[in-house]
Amino acid sequence: MKNTYVIATNVVSPLGFNTEDNFEHIQSQKSGLSFQEFDFTNEPFCVSKMQENVINQRFKVLGDFKDEYSKLEKMCILSVADALKQTKHNCLGKDSVLIFCSTKGNIDLLENIVQNQSFDTGLFLAETAQKIAEFLGFENKPIVVSNACVSGTQGILVGKRFIDAGIYNNVVVLGGDLVTKFTVSGFKAFNALSAEPCQPFDDNRKGVNLGEGAATVILSNKSNENKEQIIVKAGFSSNDATHISAPSRTGQGLLKAIQKISEVSDLEDIDFVSAHGTATRYNDDMESQALARADLNFVPIHSLKGYFGHTLGAAGVLESVMGIASLQHNQTIISKGFEVSGTVQNLNPIKSVEHKPLRSFLKTSSGFGGCNAAVLFSKINL
Amino acid sequence: MKTSIQHICHISQQTISLDGKVVFHLENQVESNEFLNESYRFLQIDYPKFFKMDILAKLAFIATELICKSLIIKDINKDEVGIVFGNKSSSLMADLTHQRSIQDKNAHFPSPAVFVYTLPNIMMGEMCIRHGFSNENTLFISEEFDAEILAKYTNHLLNERIVEHCMGGWVDAQPGNYEAFLYFVGTGKSAFWGEHTAENILGLKQKSAEEIAENFQKTAFESEPISSEY
C-alpha cells in the first residue's frame, strides 16, 4: 500500500488562524478558554469561543460577502483556504475531495427555526459542506462524516482509505463545530461540564469545557517537496457495544482500535499519545484502562482540551494538526491542567515542553454512541 | 474480491418489507413513532430499551432485527461486523425536541435522555449494543442516497478485511417522513440479491420503494388492512 502524506494543515481557533500561531500559543501555555455567560444559568461557564468580528475581519480579505456565510462556514473556509495555500498540488480537481467532519454544523439556526416555524436548509450538513466546497472551488461534491466526537479522527481515517483504495488522490479533511446553547445545555444536563478550566487526567477533574474551531489536514498520495514527511501510517475504529452515553469501563472498544493498529504497525516506539482526554471522570478512566491494556500507559500523553476545549467534530482534526506540529517542531506539548494523577490506571501526562527528536504519535478519540477511533502518524525521510 | 448483498429491509410509508416481501403494514395513518412502536409489538421483539430510542434508532433497530433473524449463515463473527450508513437530516427529530426544551430560558428543561439522540450515529451504537457488532461505524451525510460513496467505501472495508461483514444503508427522518433501507453485505459471490455495487443497491432501493408504494396504493383502494387490527 502506498503512503498517505500529510501535505498541509491549519487550525482556526481563538488562539490563531493558522497552525503556527496556534502551536506557538499553546507552547507558551496560552488557552482559548474563558468564562462566558449563558442565559439559562446564573453560573458562568468556561468555553473556548471565537469572536465573530475577528473572524469577519479575516473573512473580508477573501471578498465582500456580508451575511451570506454563517460563522461556522467562515471559520471553515478560512481554515481550508489557508491549508490550500501551503501546497503546490491541485487539491480542487476531479481527483480530489473535501470531507467535512462535524457533529452539529449550523445547529444555532435551529433556535430561529423553532421560533418562526419556517425551515432553513442551512441546517443540513450536506448543504453547509456544499457551500464551503463551492466557495473554495472544489470540482467534486463534498463528503460529510458525522460520528459524534470521533468525527474528525474518523474523517482522517476515511480520507486515508479513499487514497488507499485509489478513489481520490488528494483528500482535504476539514473539521468544524461551534459552541452553542444547544450543546452547552445538553452537556450540562449530563452533568458533564466543568465551570472552571478543565483538568484532563487529574485527580480533581470535574468535567469537560466545550470549544469551537475549524481545522484542516490535506492528505495526498504524493508527497510535497520537503525531505521530512508526515504520513498517516495506520488507523482503525471500533464500537464499545456497551452503552450509548457512557464509555466502556474496561476501555474495550478503544483497546480494539489500538490493537488493530499494532497488528499492522509497531506501537512500541511511539513518542506520545494525543488522547481524547475530555476531563470527565469516566472518559479519562476509560482511556487509562485501554492504554494500560495496550501497554501504552507509560508513554507520554497529552490532552489538548485545556487549550481548545472540546471542539466536538473538529477535535480529531484539530488535535491531530497540533500533534503533527509537535513532530515537525520536535517539541512535546504539555497536557494542560494536569497536576495530580487521578485515573484508574496511572498515565504519564506531559508536564514540560521538551525539545527532542519526535518520530510518531497515536491520536485517539472516543464519543457518544460507543465509538472509538485511533490513528498513527509517523515521520519519514525521503 | 466479490462482495454481495445477502438481505435487504425497507421501511417507509407505514410498510416494512424484508427481502422483497411485505411483513408489516399499517393502514390507519399514525405518527411515525406510533407506527414504529406498533411494528415492534407486531414483530414480538423483546427489548424494552426500544421505547426510549429516537425515530432514527427505532428505524435502524427494527430493520437490523429483521435482517439478523433471517441471516442464512448463523455463525457470523459479530465482532467483525461494520456499519456504513448514509443519512440526510442528521438527528433533526431529536434536535427539535431538545431545542424546544431549551428555547425559552424561563422554561429550561433539557433532558440527557433526549440530548444523547441529537447525534445521528447513536442509531449505530444501539445496533452494536443489541447485536454485539464492535467494528467500525461510519455515517456519511448527503443530500440524497449516495450509493457510489457507500458502496465504494464498504467494498474497501471488506476487500481490505477491515470488516468481515457490513450493514449498509440509508436511515433518515424528518417531520412527517421517514425511510430506512438496510442491506447486509458479505464477501463471496453467492447471494440472492447479487453483487454489492452502487448500481445494484440504488436499483434495489428504487425497486423496493416502488413495491412499497404499490402496496400502499393497493391497500388504500381495497381498504383491506393487512395488519391494522393488531
Q: Does A232 touch chain B (CB under 8 A)?
A: no
Give B5's pLDDT tier (boundaries 50, 70, 90): very high
Q: Tell me the per-residue pLDDT of A105-150, one tens digit each, with 9 for 90 and over.
A: 999 999 999 999 888 999 999 999 999 999 999 999 999 999 999 9
Kindly list the strands in the beta sheet with A33-38, ordered across the sheet, starting from the edge strand earlier in the chain: A33-38, A41-48, A210-211
Q: What is the pLDDT of residue A226?
A: 84
Q: List the single residue in B121, B128, B152 with the smallest CB-CB distance to A147.
A: B121
Is A225's pLDDT higher than 90?
A: no
CATH 3.40.47.10 fits A4-220, yes or no: yes
Q: What is the pLDDT of residue B190?
A: 66
Q: Which of residues 29-68 of B touch A (CB under 8 A)?
A: none
Task: Tell me the C-alpha to C-alpha distance, in Å, between residue A219 and each of A285, A314, A317, B200.
Answer: 32, 16, 12, 31
How distant is the Cα of A162 from the closest Cα of chain B, in angstroms?
A: 7
Q: Tell me the per-residue pLDDT of A307-362, one tens digit each, with 9 for 90 and over.
A: 999 999 999 999 999 999 999 999 999 999 999 999 999 999 999 999 999 999 99
Which long-range contacts does A72-75 make (Cβ < 8 Å, 24+ apart)? A72/A102, A72/A105, A72/A106, A72/A128, A72/A176, A72/A177, A72/A178, A72/A212, A72/A214, A73/A106, A73/A128, A73/A131, A73/A132, A73/A135, A75/A12, A75/A50, A75/A176, A75/A212, A75/A213, A75/A214
**Contact state of A148 with B121 under an 8 Å Cβ cutoff:** yes
Give B229's pLDDT tier (boundaries 50, 70, 90): very low
Q: Tell me the per-residue pLDDT of A77-92, one tens digit each, with 9 for 90 and over.
A: 999 999 999 999 999 9
Give A65's pLDDT tier (boundaries 50, 70, 90): confident
What are the structural domains, with CATH classification, of chain B?
3-87+124-219 (3.40.47)
Q: Which of B2, B3, B55, B39 is nearest to B183 (CA)?
A: B3
Mean pLDDT value across residues B131-145: 97
Q: Which of residues 80-139 of B touch A (CB under 8 A)?
A: 87-90, 92, 95-96, 98-100, 102-103, 105, 108, 110-112, 115-116, 118-122, 124-126, 128-129, 132-139
Q: What is the pLDDT of residue B153?
A: 98
Average model confidence (pLDDT) across chain A: 96
How distant is the Cα of B225 from the closest Cα of chain A, in angstroms?
A: 35
Q: Tell me the per-residue pLDDT of A7-34, one tens digit each, with 9 for 90 and over.
A: 999 999 999 999 999 999 999 999 999 9
**Contact state of B128 with A239 under an 8 Å Cβ cutoff:** yes
Give B219's pLDDT tier (boundaries 50, 70, 90): low
Give B226's pLDDT tier (boundaries 50, 70, 90): very low
Q: List the single residue in A110, A189, A371 with the smallest CB-CB distance to B121.
A: A371
Matching CATH topology for A4-220 and A229-381?
Answer: yes
Mean pLDDT value across residues A282-292: 98
Q: What is the pLDDT of residue A231?
A: 98
Average model confidence (pLDDT) across chain B: 92
Q: List the single residue in A110, A124, A236 with the smallest CB-CB distance to B99.
A: A110
Q: How far apart are CA A176 and CA A379, in angstroms?
A: 26
Mean pLDDT value across residues A239-263: 96
**Contact state of B90 with A105 under an 8 Å Cβ cutoff:** yes
Range A210-221 burial, b when 16+ CB lie within 10 A, else e: bbbbbbbbbbbb
Tell me which of 3.40.50.300, 3.40.47.10, 3.30.70.240, 2.40.30.10 is the CATH number of domain A229-381.
Answer: 3.40.47.10
Report domain extents, chain A.
Answer: 4-220, 229-381
Cα torsion A109, A110, A114, A119: sign: positive
pTM of the model: 0.96
Q: Tell me the per-residue pLDDT of B171-213, one tens digit each, with 9 for 90 and over.
A: 999 998 999 999 999 997 667 899 999 999 999 999 999 988 8
Q: Tell me the per-residue pLDDT of B94-128, one tens digit each, with 9 for 90 and over.
A: 999 999 999 998 899 999 999 999 999 999 999 99
**Contact state of A237 with B98 under an 8 Å Cβ cutoff:** no
Mean pLDDT value across residues B26-34: 95
Q: Is B28 helix (H, G, I), strand (E, B) or coil?
A: coil
Q: What is the pLDDT of residue B222?
A: 47
Give B224's pLDDT tier (boundaries 50, 70, 90): very low
Q: Does A40 touch chain B (CB under 8 A)?
A: yes
Q: List the single residue in A105, A147, A241 with the smallest CB-CB distance to B132.
A: A241
Q: Does A344 touch chain B (CB under 8 A)?
A: no
Q: Is B182 helix (H, G, I), strand (E, B) or coil?
A: strand
Q: How far apart are CA B213 and CA A123, in angstroms?
A: 29
Task: Tell me the C-alpha to C-alpha distance, in Å, between residue B25 and each of B51, B58, B225.
Answer: 20, 16, 8
Question: In chain B, which ranges are continuous DSSP H helix?
Answer: 32-42, 55-70, 92-102, 112-115, 122-131, 147-159, 198-222
